[in-house]
Amino acid sequence: MTTGERLDDIEAALEGARSEGLRIIEAAADLGSLAEARTRALGRKAPLARARSGLGGITDPTDRKKLGQLANAVGDELEAALTSKRGGFERAELDARWERERVDVTLPGDAPPVGSLHPLTKTAWEIVDIFIGLGYRVAEGPEIELAKYNFEALNFPEHHPSLSPQETFYIEGHGDEVVLRTHTSPVQIRVMESQAPPVYVVIPGRTYRRDVMDATHLSAFFQLEGLAVDEGITMGDLKGSLGTFAREIFGRDLDVRLRPHYFPFTEPSAELDVQCFVCRGSGCRVCKGEGWIEVLGCGMVHPFLLEWVGYDAARYSGFAFGMGVERIAALAHGVTDIRSFYDNDVRFLAQFATGGGGP
């Protein structure tokens, strides 16, 4: 073989390496096969490398330079083809990713779960609202209470069964002087002690009794107390105000009645019944065939209390009432076991979640 033939062969081999390399690169279908194509087009066993190895035998510097430049140019061209091909794949991948991860920011978002007021809180606020509408204000008192306020000042006789440690929680280390209040009534005394008449207050709060838990009893529960003291307050005011309240909660067209009862701190005392809102008086399961449902205890404030706080009992009179918040909530919502309010079962509680609400 002459030198001229060898030069032509090498040149043809380089041109072949160029077209073969470009074909290989062009055929790559993704980034993975492109890496393989690089080895096949530019690797140590690639046509270009083989063609290059022939360059060593060329003695003429000008020829060697010319073919060397051609080899470099082929190498550069294949490199450039690889780079441009890779760029295409990367762009395609990015496009696909944009497509995958595209977010329509105009769509409504996922609402985070929000809590709601507890049904007992809602019921208490609803009742408080009714009385605020009648001109009352809210008062509160301590849950750990002096026996003096819980019993004595409320005209409980010394041997009343409620004073027994079987019925009432006494605070250790204070003899028989400090209790967990058994009702919100002692706050009547605290309010009257702190201000002159007229008094119009509602008193929501937690109360405690040594009761065994069942469907209608808890050892810690809520009461809502009310007290109105002014000149010329009569039993008619009591019936009118409490009737307004009961109809607001249970149904505007329902009748109410007062049934004689006994409480030490009221005279006369009564229980307020509302006509059964399920059967309207004919008798059903909810009212246990009575036609009426007991709602709360009430009465005319006993003069003993007015005198105890230093009010002029000849000038002022008043009425008071007290109700169980669990009982009112249970009646209003058809709940048959008041323990449900304390189980913290969100499925139960969520049924009462109608927006935020509150005063």
Range list of β-strands (E), the chain: 137-138, 144-146, 178-180, 199-208, 220-231, 256-263, 266-275, 292-301, 316-324
Kindly state the smallest distance separating residue 326's Cβ from ligand DAH, in Å: 13
Contacting range for ligand DAH; rule: CB under 6 A; set: 96-104, 168-176, 305-313, 314-322: 314-322
Q: For residue 197, give both structure tokens.
A: 């008449």
Contacting range for ligand DAH; rule: CB under 6 A; set: 88-96, 228-236, 279-287, 296-304: 296-304
Kindly state the smallest distance separating residue 226's Cβ from ligand DAH, in Å: 7
Question: Does 320 engage in binding with ligand DAH (CB under 6 A)?
Answer: yes
Among 119, 197, 205, 299, binds ligand DAH (CB under 6 A): 299
Site string for ligand DAH, 245-284 (x = CB under 6 A): ------------------x--x------------------
Residue environment code for 93-128, b if the CB has 16+ CB neighbours within 10 A, otherwise e: eeeeeeeeeeeeeeeeeeeeeeebbbbbbbbbbbbb
Q: In DSSP terms, which residues pair with 275 in a beta bridge?
A: 292
Site string for ligand DAH, 149-188 (x = CB under 6 A): ----------------------------------x-x---
Q: For residue 26, give both structure tokens.
A: 């062009």
Contacting range for ligand DAH; rule: CB under 6 A; set: 119-127, 278-286, 319-327, 349-357: 319-327
DSSP 216: T
CB 71 within 8 A of CB 50: no
CB 14 within 8 A of CB 74: yes
Site string for ligand DAH, 207-246 (x = CB under 6 A): ------------------x---------------------
CB 199 within 8 A of CB 227: yes
Question: Does 136 engage in binding with ligand DAH (CB under 6 A)?
Answer: no
**Interatomic CA distance for residues 46 and 268, integer angstroms:** 113
Kindly state the smallest distance separating residue 258's Cβ from ligand DAH, in Å: 12
Contacting range for ligand DAH; rule: CB under 6 A; set: 29-37, 50-58, 135-143, 316-324: 316-324
Peptide bond just before 268 cis, omega within 30 deg: yes
**Interatomic CA distance for residues 18 and 96, integer angstroms:** 32
Question: Does 75 engage in binding with ligand DAH (CB under 6 A)?
Answer: no
- Footprint of ligand DAH (CB under 6 A): 183, 185, 225, 263, 266, 297-299, 320-322
